[in-house]
Structure 1
Amino acid sequence: MNKRTYTLATALVTTLTLAVTGCSGGGTSGGARNGKNPATSNSGAVLGGTPQKGGTLTVLSNQDFTHLDPARNWVMGDMDFGTRLLYRTLVTYKAEPGAKGGDLVPDLAEDLGVSSNGARTWTFKLKPGLKYEDGTPITSRDIKHNVERSFSPDLPGGPDYAARYLAGAEGYQGPAGGRHLASVKTPDDRTVVFELRTPFAEFPFAATLPTFAPVPPSQDKGPQYDNRPFSSGPYKIDSYARDKQLVLVRNTHWDPKTDRVRKAYPDRIVVTMGLKANQIDDRLIAATGPDASAVPWDKLRPESTPKVLTKPDIKARLLAESTSCTEMLQMHTGRAPFDDVRVRQAVQYALDREAVLTASGGPALNDPATALMPGFLFGGKQPDTLGIPLTGDVPKAKKLLEEAGKGGGFTTRITVSNGDKAVGEAIQQSLGRAGIKVTIETVDPSAFYDTIGDTKNRTDLVYTGWCPDYPSGSTFLPFVFDGRFIKEKGNSGNHSLFRDDATMKRMDEIAAMADAARAAEAWRELDGKILAKAPTAPVVVERKPLLIGTNIAGAFGHTSFGGQLDYATVGLKDPSKSAN
C-alpha cells in the first residue's frame, strides 16, 4: 500500500504554517508518493547513470498531447512535458526521484513567493535576464496575461486555481476587449502580485502549474497557441504535425544560469505519435537501433508485463513509480437513473475491483482503492471506508436496485480511453452480474478529456482519475466534487457532476481553517461522507510502469508528475548512437 512518512507529513504542516506568516525562499517538503514494490520495479531510482550532452531522444507515443497551451494544460504527462521542456513557471519541483521530488524550488521567480495580509496576498519577483526563444525579455505582464487568458471560454480544460482563489474573478471571461483582473498587479517588469479572495497558504504549490507560465500577448493566437507555444524553456518547437510528430530543438536564449532544475541534455527531442501500444512495448523490449535511445509516453500494457518481469536484463530498465492517482468510475449524478443514490450505491457494490485491478496489470503494478483520496493524504494508507469486498457484493447491489425501482436492471454507457478498453470490459462484466448492461465507448487518449468534459453529450459513466496537484486534500476533493465549478464544456474534474450543498459548505469551512493539521483531518472525514453519497466508485491506485531503452540515462519516475519520466534530466548514455 502507499506509504507516507510522519517526517514528510510534519514538514508539510510546518511549511504551510510558515507560509501564512510570510516565509519565503527555500524548498518545502511534500508530495512524496511511495508505495513501491522493489520486487517488480525500480521505484525511486535513477536508471542509466548520468547522461551526456547531445543526441536525439525519441519518445514513442500512441497519442497526441491533450493540450500544450499552458492555459489549458492540466494532464499530468502533458504538464511534465510542457513545464520541463517548453515553458517555465514561477515555482517548480526539484528534479529528483522519490520524496525529494516533492520539494519546491524557485523557477522564474527568485523565491517561493512572499505572503502578506494573512496569506491573501502573494508577491513574486522574477529573476533578471530571463528571455524567450527570440531573445526578448520575459516580463511580469506576460505571467498576468496567461493567468487572464486561462479564463477565456475559448481555452477550456486548464487548471482553475486562478478562478477559485483570485479576488474579483467571478464572471471574468479573459483579456479580450482590454478587460483585465485588478487582483493581478504588475507594478514593474519583474514583479507580479496576486490578491486572493481567501487565505491560501498553499499558493506556491499552485504556482508550479502551467497557468503561471508566461505568454507574451504579441504571440498569443487564442486556440491556435496550442500548436505552437512560445518557448521560455530549454527547447522550442521546430515542427508539430498533429497526431504524427513533434520535434523540439534547443532554445539558444535559455540561460542555464537562471535555471537550477532543467539539464537539457539532448540536442533534439522527437515525439513519434500514432503508434499502437503493443508496438511501443515490443520496440522498447527489443531496444535495437534508434529504439535504444527511446522512452515511452504511456505505461507498459498489462499484457506485456510478463515479457519484462521474467527477464532480469529487461526488468532492470523498468520504472514503476506510484502515481498516487485514484482511478474512479464516475456516475452522472444529474441524469436518471444515477440521480438516485441507491442506484449509485448499487454500482459501488456490484463493481469487481479485483477484476479491474487484473485488467490494469495486476497487483504488481496496482493497489485496490478503498477511499477517494490517495493513501498519502491519509498519512500512509487509505481507509476501507465502505468495507465492500474486493470482488463486490452482488446480492447487496441487486437489493439496492430493487429498492430504487430498477429490479430488472437497466442499460447504460461508459466512456474509457482506448488504452483502458480491458478495464472497461472488466467493469462491463462486473456490473452485468447485477443486471446493469453497459455499452463501452472508447476514445483516443488525446481527445478523452475534451469528450468527457462535454457535460451535455457525454455518457452516464466515465472511467477516469484524479491526482493531487500537491500534498493536500484541498487539491483533490474540491476539484472532483465541488458543483460550483462544473462547466458545460471543458469540465475538468467533477465528472460525476456532483452538486451537494452540505458538501460544498463543508469544503468552504475546511478551506478557511488556518491550522493545516486540523484541515487535513477534516478533508479525511469529508472523503468518507462524500463516498457514502456515492457520486463515484473508487477502483484502483495505479503505478506508472515505464520501460526505457538501453541507451537512456538519468531516467526516473517523478513523484509530482504522476510517475511520468522527468524530462528535465533524462538523456542518453552515448549520443552518437541515437537517431539523426
Structure 2
Amino acid sequence: MTRRTHAILATALAAALTLGLGACKNDKSDSGGGDAAAGSTRAPGAESGTIVGGTPVKGGTLTVLSNQDFAHLDPARNWTMPNMDFGIRLLYRTLVTFKAEPGAAGSEIVPDLATDLGRPSDGGKTWTFTLKDGVKYEDGTPIKSADIKYNVERSFAPDLTGGPDYAQQYLADDENYKGPLNGEHLASIETPDDRTVVFHLKRPVAEFSYTATLPTFAPVPQSQDKGPQYDLRPFSSGPYRIETYDRGKQLVLVRNTNWDQSTDPVRKAYPDRIVVTQGLKGGQVDDRIIASEGADASAVEWMNLRPESVSKVLPKADVRSRLIAEQQGCTDMLYPNTSKAPFDDPKVREALMYAVDRDAQVTANGGPAMGDVATSYLPPALAGGTKLDPLKIPSTGDPEKAKQLLKDAGRTDLKLSLTVSSGDKTRAEALQQSLAKVGIQVTITTADPSVYYDTIGDTKNAPDLAILGWCPDYPSGATFLPQVFDGRTIKEKGNQGNVEQFRDQVTSDRIDQINAMSDVTEANKAWQQLNEELMKKAPTVPMLWQRRPLLAGTNVAGAFGSPVWTGQWDFATIGLKDPSKSKG
C-alpha cells in the first residue's frame, strides 16, 4: 500500500542523532548490539528491536495524539498502514495475524481467529480455514465463518472504496460481482458449517496465509452492516470496542468484555481505555508528549516527529530515550509517466535512473540516520535483509552517462513537470538540482497531502514526474512488484500503485508465473530476479528507504515500531508503566 506522505525531518535530526540514544533493548532481538554508540548515524531503535518503557502494567488510559482522523476503520476499506495496525490490533481480528514482537520476529505470522495458517489443496488453488472455539463479538454472539465471507464480499461493493483488492485479484469467478447487498454471494467462498470457510482461487497462491492477515479477512455480521456508515462503528471482534467516535475530534475505545485472551495470545490489551485525540494543530502533538504532563505522560503520537521538534528532543537524554525510528520497509521512488513522451522511451527512463542523485535525497530527508539510499525496488525486508543493487549506479548518480543516454535518444533539452506532496518540497528541490546537471529543466508543483494521491492517480491528467513510496502489505514481493509494475492494475481514477502507468506484457506474464509457484522460497528468489529485470527497464527510480520517528510519553511502556506496519507503534503490546498516573 502507498505510504501516506509524512513531514520530512530536517538534516539537523541526522546530525543530532549521532549523539546516540539510550533505550531498553529486547533481549530476544538478534541484532547483536545494544544502544547506538556515540558517533553512530544509526537512528534510535532502527533494526534493533528497541522497546520504550519496559513491560506494561494492566489498566489505565492510553492517549493517542493526532493531527488527523482515520482514513477508514471499516475493515473492508482499511488499507493504509497505521490505520490497519490500529484496526487489526484493537478492534477486529483476522484469520491470521503477525506476532506482536519487535524486530524480525514481528514479521512472522500466527493463527488469529483460525486454528492454523490455512490448509491448501488443489495445488494451492483452494484454502480452508477453521475458526477457533469460543471466539465472540462484543455482544457475546459467536463469530461465524459466514461473517468472514460476508466481509470479503463487502470489499467488492462500489460504495466501499479504498480497501485491499487481493480478494478481487485472487478469488475465482468474481467478474462483475458488486457485493452482497442485493442478495448475491460469491460461489468461490464456501462456508459448509459455522466454523469452516473455504476459498477457491483463480490460480495457486502459495502465500494466501499472509493475505489472510489483511482486514478484508476480518468478520462482519450481516446484521450489523450499515454500508458506508459502518466506518463510524465497526462491530468489535477484538479486545476493544468503540464507546464514542466524533470524527476528526476524538475516538474512545473501552474493553470488549466478550474478548477472550485465551483464544488470542497476540494482543495483550494492557490499557482499560484508549483515547485518540484528533485535529491537533502544528507542533502541538510533539510539544505535549515532550512535556509529558498529566494525561500526556501516558500518550503516544500518531504521526512522525516534526522537523521543528528535533532541537527540543535530542539534547535531552530523558526525551531521547522515548524516541524510536524503525525502518518503514517501504521504497520511495520517482515515478515518470511512461504512458507518453518522453518516458515512453526506455532510453530516456534509463537516463533518469542515472541522473538522480540519491545521496541528495537522503540529505533532504534528514540524513543517513533517517533513511538509506535505495538501490532497488524491493526493500531489504523483502530480500532476506540484503540490499539488492543490480545496476551498481553511484549513489550520487552518473550525470555524464545520463547525458549520453539522452543524446542517444534525441532528448537533450527536456522540460518536465514534477508534482509532490507539500511535505516533500525539499526533496523535490534536490531532485530539480540533480536533473538540471543533465540538462533537464523541472517545474515543481505541490499538492496538499489530502488530495495528493487523487491528483497523481488521475491517469489522464498525471504529471510528468511524481514522488511517492510503496509499502508491501506483508513481507513478500507478491505485494510489491505486481502492484507497482503490472499494467493490469492501472485505474483511470484512484490509480495508487502503478502510478507510472507502466505496461509491459513480459512483466505481466512473469508476474503470473511467479504467483503460480507453490514454493514460497523459490517464489521469493523469482521476485528478486524480476526486481533485477525491472531495474533494467527503469519504469521508476528507487531513491530512499525511510525510517519512522515516533515519540512516547514518560509513562508509556511496551512500545515499539512494528516491522510490518511501516514502523508504527504495535498497538497489540503498548501500555503504561503506572496506570494510576493516567487520566481520561
TM over 0.5: yes
- Counterpart of 1:233? 238
Alpha-carbon distance in 1 for matches of 2:485, 2:505: 11
Structure 1: which 5+ residue stretches go unaligned?
1-31
- Listed as ranges, the matches of 1:32-71 within 5 Å are 38-39=36-37, 40-42=43-45, 43-71=48-76
- Counterpart of 2:95? 90
Alpha-carbon distance in 1 for matches of 2:171, 2:32: 33
- Listed as ranges, the matches of 1:225-304 within 5 Å are 225-276=230-281, 278-304=283-309
1:314 aligns with 2:312: no
Task: Judge conservation of contact 2:90–2:238 (CA < 8 Å) in 1.
Answer: yes
Instruction: Report deviation, 1:308.
Output: 3.4
Further displaced range: 312-321 or 168-177: 168-177
Instruction: Report deviation, 1:277.
Output: 5.2
1:512 aligns with 2:516: yes
Offset from partner CA, 1:334-384 (integer Å, 9 cap, x none): 233332333333332332212221222210121110000012333332232
What is the aligned-residue identity percentage? 62
Task: Judge conservation of contact 2:337–2:462 (CA < 8 Å) in 1.
Answer: no
Q: 1:344 is matched with which residue: 346, 349, 356? A: 349
Q: 1:382 is matched with which residue: 379, 382, 387? A: 387
Task: Judge conservation of contact 1:126–1:190 (CA < 8 Å) in 2.
Answer: yes
Offset from partner CA, 1:193-222 (integer Å, 9 cap, x none): 011122222111111111101112222232
RMSD of Structure 2 on Structure 1 (CA): 2.5
Task: Judge conservation of contact 1:264–1:569 (CA < 8 Å) in 2.
Answer: yes
- Counterpart of 2:377? 372
Structure 2: which 5+ residue stretches go unaligned?
1-29, 38-42
Task: Judge conservation of contact 1:37–1:364 (CA < 8 Å) in 2.
Answer: no
Q: 1:455 is matched with which residue: 433, 454, 459? A: 459
Relative to 1, partners in 2 of residues 1:228 and 1:314: Cα closer, same or farther, differing over 3 Å?
Answer: same
Alpha-carbon distance in 2 for matches of 1:384, 1:102: 23
Instruction: Report deviation, 1:493.
Output: 2.0
* SS of residue paired to 2:343: coil
| Letter of the structure 1 residue corresponding to residue 142 of structure 2 | P
- Counterpart of 2:487? 483
Offset from partner CA, 1:285-306 (integer Å, 9 cap, x none): 3323322111111222345445
Q: TM-score, normalised by structure 1?
A: 0.88
Alpha-carbon distance in 2 for matches of 1:351, 1:52: 49
- Listed as ranges, the matches of 1:72-471 within 5 Å are 72-276=77-281, 278-305=283-310, 307-416=312-421, 418-433=422-437, 434-444=439-449, 447-471=451-475
Task: Judge conservation of contact 1:317–1:549 (CA < 8 Å) in 2.
Answer: yes
Alpha-carbon distance in 2 for matches of 1:33, 1:130: 36
Alpha-carbon distance in 1 for matches of 2:285, 2:515: 44
Instruction: Report deviation, 1:48.
Output: 0.9
Instruction: Report deviation, 1:481.
Output: 0.9
Relative to 1, partners in 2 of residues 1:396 and 1:112: Cα closer, same or farther, differing over 3 Å?
Answer: same
Further displaced range: 556-565 or 242-251: 242-251
Task: Judge conservation of contact 1:110–1:127 (CA < 8 Å) in 2.
Answer: yes
- Counterpart of 2:8? none
Relative to 1, partners in 2 of residues 1:497 and 1:35: Cα closer, same or farther, differing over 3 Å?
Answer: farther
- Counterpart of 1:527? 531
Task: Judge conservation of contact 1:320–1:543 (CA < 8 Å) in 2.
Answer: yes
Alpha-carbon distance in 2 for matches of 1:461, 1:227: 36
Relative to 1, partners in 2 of residues 1:228 and 1:425: Cα closer, same or farther, differing over 3 Å?
Answer: farther
* SS of residue paired to 1:543: strand
| Letter of the structure 2 residue corresponding to residue 38 of structure 1 | A
Alpha-carbon distance in 2 for matches of 1:429, 1:223: 45
Task: Judge conservation of contact 2:207–2:520 (CA < 8 Å) in 1.
Answer: no
Instruction: Report deviation, 1:529.
Output: 1.4
Relative to 1, partners in 2 of residues 1:511 and 1:389: Cα closer, same or farther, differing over 3 Å?
Answer: same
Further displaced range: 427-436 or 527-536: 427-436
- Counterpart of 2:12? none
- Counterpart of 1:8? none
Alpha-carbon distance in 2 for matches of 1:94, 1:172: 34
| Letter of the structure 1 residue corresponding to residue 137 of structure 2 | Y
Task: Judge conservation of contact 1:33–1:323 (CA < 8 Å) in 2.
Answer: no
| Letter of the structure 2 residue corresponding to residue 546 of structure 1 | L
Alpha-carbon distance in 1 for matches of 2:501, 2:33: 31
Offset from partner CA, 1:423-461 (integer Å, 9 cap, x none): 33333343344323132323235x544554443444343
Alpha-carbon distance in 2 for matches of 1:53, 1:479: 41
Further displaced range: 166-175 or 176-185: 166-175
Alpha-carbon distance in 1 for matches of 2:155, 2:311: 44
Relative to 1, partners in 2 of residues 1:235 and 1:423: Cα closer, same or farther, differing over 3 Å?
Answer: farther
1:550 aligns with 2:548: no
Alpha-carbon distance in 2 for matches of 1:255, 1:419: 43
Relative to 1, partners in 2 of residues 1:138 and 1:495: Cα closer, same or farther, differing over 3 Å?
Answer: same
- Counterpart of 1:499? 503
Instruction: Report deviation, 1:549.
Output: 0.9
Relative to 1, partners in 2 of residues 1:314 and 1:36: Cα closer, same or farther, differing over 3 Å?
Answer: same
Alpha-carbon distance in 2 for matches of 1:549, 1:521: 42
Offset from partner CA, 1:66-97 (integer Å, 9 cap, x none): 22221121221111011001111001111111
Relative to 1, partners in 2 of residues 1:187 and 1:515: Cα closer, same or farther, differing over 3 Å?
Answer: closer
Offset from partner CA, 1:138-162 (integer Å, 9 cap, x none): 2111111111121223223322221
| Letter of the structure 1 residue corresponding to residue 543 of structure 2 | V
Task: Judge conservation of contact 1:35–1:322 (CA < 8 Å) in 2.
Answer: no
Aligned length: 547
Relative to 1, partners in 2 of residues 1:131 and 1:449: Cα closer, same or farther, differing over 3 Å?
Answer: farther
| Letter of the structure 2 residue corresponding to residue 41 of structure 1 | P
Relative to 1, partners in 2 of residues 1:133 and 1:427: Cα closer, same or farther, differing over 3 Å?
Answer: farther
Alpha-carbon distance in 2 for matches of 1:89, 1:98: 22
| Letter of the structure 2 residue corresponding to residue 544 of structure 1 | R
Instruction: Report deviation, 1:404.
Output: 4.2
Task: Judge conservation of contact 1:57–1:293 (CA < 8 Å) in 2.
Answer: yes
Further displaced range: 314-323 or 332-341: 332-341
Task: Judge conservation of contact 2:206–2:516 (CA < 8 Å) in 1.
Answer: no
Task: Judge conservation of contact 1:33–1:559 (CA < 8 Å) in 2.
Answer: no
* SS of residue paired to 1:110: coil
Alpha-carbon distance in 1 for matches of 2:275, 2:550: 18
Task: Judge conservation of contact 1:157–1:491 (CA < 8 Å) in 2.
Answer: no
Alpha-carbon distance in 2 for matches of 1:265, 1:125: 28
Relative to 1, partners in 2 of residues 1:353 and 1:190: Cα closer, same or farther, differing over 3 Å?
Answer: same
Alpha-carbon distance in 1 for matches of 2:490, 2:324: 36
Alpha-carbon distance in 2 for matches of 1:450, 1:233: 32
